[in-house]
Structure 1
Amino acid sequence: MEMPAAPAPLPEPRQCCPTTTRKRIAQENVLLVDVREQADFDQLTLDVPEIVNIPFSVFEERFPELPRDRELVLVSADGQNSLKATYYLMRHGYTKVANMSNGVAKWLYRGFPVKGDPAAFVTASPEGASGCCGA
């Protein structure tokens, strides 16, 4: 019996830092997708014109809610769950997706606007935080 062929490997997902993400939000029709759990999202949210919260724990069930015709940038606390979600979307045929590297942690480190209490956000310092976009 012949084994089915393994799926083709996915290309590396696009990565963008918070600085690039902010520029893209201002200049393009980018939708930010936060995959943190609802309680974390409610406690602290990135202050951007449009953001959607689909918790990582229910991402497989809810990902069809995301438009395929818009640029999506996924974000999580440290960029790890959003990277997994980015791969998941790519595997399901989404082509306009990117991961925000180092996530909310680097967004806060850069001093970008948020809604909620930044002091309530707890995570390790983002690796290479001082090197955002070559800054």
Structure 2
Amino acid sequence: MLKEFKDFAMKGNLVDIAVAFVMGAAFNKIVASFTGGIVSPLVGLIFKSDFKGLKWIITEGVADEAGNVTGEVAVLYGDFITNLIDFIIVAFVMFMLIKGISKMKKKEAATAPAPPAGPTQEDLLTEIRDLLKK
């Protein structure tokens, strides 16, 4: 059973998926920092508000001496919009990546050498038949 698990875990596809997963997680952090540090402030300039701070307060909270608000119930739609922008950026990059890979595969298929021209199966069978007749 241990050998079967080792064979399964070391298959090429599974290792490729693991590498892609790790790279995707790292890429997600890059996109999140890009959106949070560059896109959100620029959009905030346009709308004159902090994108992350956008929320719809349903129930007001109570502020203590330190300025911390407790008991507030709010819908944080600014975070949702930021995450939506993150998703769109990741989806677009993945689309472009897959499109580029597909284009490279088409070029490889187009430049693949043609199989050597030789006698067909029928020609060979005819030749064998003729040799057997002799």
Quickly name the TM-score band, shorter chain normalised: under 0.3
- The higher radius of gyration belongs to 2
TM-score (norm 1): 0.18
More helix by share: 2
TM-score (norm 2): 0.18
